[in-house]
Structure 1
Amino acid sequence: MPASHLTEIVQGIADIDRLKDCDAVLSGYIGSPEQGGHILAAVARVKQANPNAWYFCDPVMGHPEKGCIVAPGVAEFFCQEALPASDIIAPNLLELEQLSGVHVDNVEQAVKVARDLCAKGPKVVLVKHLSRAGYHLDCFEMLLVTMDDAWHISRPLVDFGARQPVGVGDLTSGLLLVNLLKGEPLDKALEHVTAAVYEVMLKTQQMGEYELQVVAAQDAIVNPSCHFTATKL
């Protein structure tokens, strides 16, 4: 998609006088740094219309086991421009290291590095995949960190074999944003997101599918049957 289309979409919303009703901007994977510039321009316009709006940045750069996969200039955009502009940012372990320039080996280091990011702009950092830096390699672990508090949560891994489903991070970021916009406390939001995503992955596995089965699991997203407890660190 041409980068200018992003600005045109926002202009269309402005033309019907609805930017003031926008409570957040959520960005994820981008194909070029030019798209990033248009996203930040959109954030500025939304915040001008609604000063209480949030910018939630999902800085998609790669996977802890696969490395950085984005186009030239995109990683630099996230590190230098998106990070200080964001209110909430949701890196995985690789992206946390990219944003901070620090190698992270364990949970304690991840909390410290996340707080270093908070000092540069965002109020909340979700480390949405701790991978090798977690407590247990046989679990999927996340951290939610602010300057004052930190919570850790884990859930079982779901085995998909060689072909892992895509979009788990996108679903995680979107659900966290929805929970926070509803006014949920940070720890309760983290617990709901963890359970809801787990339910979606179980349904996807049960149906033998590759694409996340969010429609089939829609009731479980709203009201998960399982529960995972966030532990305050």
Structure 2
Amino acid sequence: MQILSIQSSVAYGHVGNSAAVFPLQRLGHEVWSVNTVHFSNHTGYGAWRGPLLAPDDVRDVIAGIDDRGVLGQADAVLSGYQGDPAVGAVVLDAVARVKELNPAAVYCCDPVMGDVGRGMFVRPGIPEFMRDTAVPAADVVTPNHFELDFLAGTTTTTLEEVLAAVDVVRERGPRDVLVTSVLHDAVPEGHLDVVAVSDAGAWAVTTPLLPLAPNGCGDVTAALYLAHLRTTGSPAEALTLTTGTVFAVLEETLAAGTREIQLVAAQGAIASPPRTFAPRRLR
């Protein structure tokens, strides 16, 4: 599979393309990495250096790929954090061009906006752009629980409410939805659910909640789910493989005692995902 990944990039650590590209390559996929920023490190440190690329510069890189006559060979477009609605427009133009050349291609949008306890952490206008423009254009979306509630315009506290919120999002366009970090009234204490919904049904896995919250896990999750979904054609299988790998990466990170996810150290679990969690069918 060949994937056009339009995301941020850091020299030190793993977020955005610096989190997504290596796992995809380790799975054997070609990745065309287009960076929207190139920072020294992720912004969670509170200080960083490096350029925020202008939307026209991002557009120019994608146009250069098109000049090679290969853009139609892309099987998927992947996007994550978007620092400016103008960059979001560039992403959607790229999606439209890829799909014009290859109607079988899909767009996976990780609608990065915020999280429980942090609220929205993106610039004003980004949440509305995600809800009203980017997500409806996507085939696959991977929000966390907080982001799902915003996209659906609701507050969910039960698994049934989560599924109803997913249905609201799916009615707007995307057929495959993966919801991460799902907390509801029936999940065991110290655990969380990851929920996958498609035309074929809905599934969940329950995983222990480890005592760390490193940056970049959502970027890895979106990339892995896209890859496994397209490779296997099964949301349940993609859910199993993705959660098994991500949990192994988190365990490696916890053992290392670092705030940067240990992708290289855990690469065996990327290439050969452990079946740590069995999915249960919800409907």
Distance in 2 separating the partners of 1:176 and 1:209: 25
**CA deviation profile, 1:42-99 (whole Å, cap 9, x unmatched):** 1001111111110101000011221111101101100110121010111111111111
Distance in 2 separating the partners of 1:102 and 1:147: 22
Distance in 2 separating the partners of 1:184 and 1:222: 18
Give the equivalent residue in structure 2 for 1:85.
137
Distance in 1 separating the partners of 2:174 and 2:230: 16
SS of 1:129's equivalent? Answer: strand
SS of 1:212's equivalent? Answer: coil
Is the 8 Å Cα contact of residues 115 and 146 (structure 1) preserved in structure 2? no
Distance in 2 separating the partners of 1:6 and 1:140: 37
SS of 1:140's equivalent? Answer: strand
Give the equivalent residue in structure 1 for 2:252.
203
Shift of 1:140: 2.6
Is the 8 Å Cα contact of residues 108 and 140 (structure 2) preserved in structure 1? yes
Stretch of structure 1 that moved more, 112-121 or 135-144? 135-144
Distance in 2 separating the partners of 1:133 and 1:116: 21
> Within 5 Å, which residues of 2 pair with 1:75-154?
75-132=127-184, 135-154=187-206
Shift of 1:21: 1.1
| 2:218 matches 1:166 | no
**CA deviation profile, 1:15-55 (whole Å, cap 9, x unmatched):** 11111111111111010111111110010011111111101
Give the unaligned 5+ runs of structure 1: none
| 2:102 matches 1:44 | no
How many residues are aligned here?
A: 230
Is the 8 Å Cα contact of residues 242 and 273 (structure 2) preserved in structure 1? no
Distance in 2 separating the partners of 1:206 and 1:213: 10
SS of 1:216's equivalent? Answer: coil
TM-score by length of 1: 0.94
Is the 8 Å Cα contact of residues 240 and 275 (structure 2) preserved in structure 1? no
- Residue number among 55, 58, 67 corresponding to 1:15 in the alignment: 67
Is the 8 Å Cα contact of residues 64 and 131 (structure 1) preserved in structure 2? no
Give the letter for the 1:58 counterpart.
D
Note closer, same or farther for the CA distance 1:133–1:44 as it changes in structure 2 (3 Å cut): farther
Give the equivalent residue in structure 1 for 2:109.
57
Shift of 1:148: 4.8
Runs of 4+ in 1 over 6 A off after TM superposition: none
**CA deviation profile, 1:160-192 (whole Å, cap 9, x unmatched):** 3xxx31111111100001102213411011001
Stretch of structure 1 that moved more, 101-110 or 223-232? 223-232
SS of 1:182's equivalent? Answer: helix
Is the 8 Å Cα contact of residues 111 and 143 (structure 2) preserved in structure 1? yes
TM-score by length of 2: 0.78
Distance in 2 separating the partners of 1:14 and 1:134: 49
Shift of 1:132: 4.7
Identity among equivalent positions (%) equals 37
Give the letter for the 1:126 counterpart.
L
Higher relative contact order (CA 8 A, sep 6+): 2
SS of 1:128's equivalent? Answer: strand
Alignment root-mean-square deviation, CA: 1.4
Distance in 2 separating the partners of 1:99 and 1:200: 28
- Residue number among 111, 117, 120 corresponding to 1:68 in the alignment: 120
Note closer, same or farther for the CA distance 1:113–1:201 as it changes in structure 2 (3 Å cut): same
Distance in 1 separating the partners of 2:68 and 2:146: 40
Distance in 2 separating the partners of 1:166 and 1:92: 14
Give the unaligned 5+ runs of structure 2: 1-52
Distance in 2 separating the partners of 1:54 and 1:226: 26
Distance in 1 separating the partners of 2:215 and 2:136: 27
Shift of 1:156: 1.3
Distance in 2 separating the partners of 1:38 and 1:155: 36
- The structure with more strand, counted as a fraction of residues: 2
Shift of 1:127: 0.7
SS of 2:232's equivalent? Answer: coil
Is the 8 Å Cα contact of residues 131 and 137 (structure 1) preserved in structure 2? no
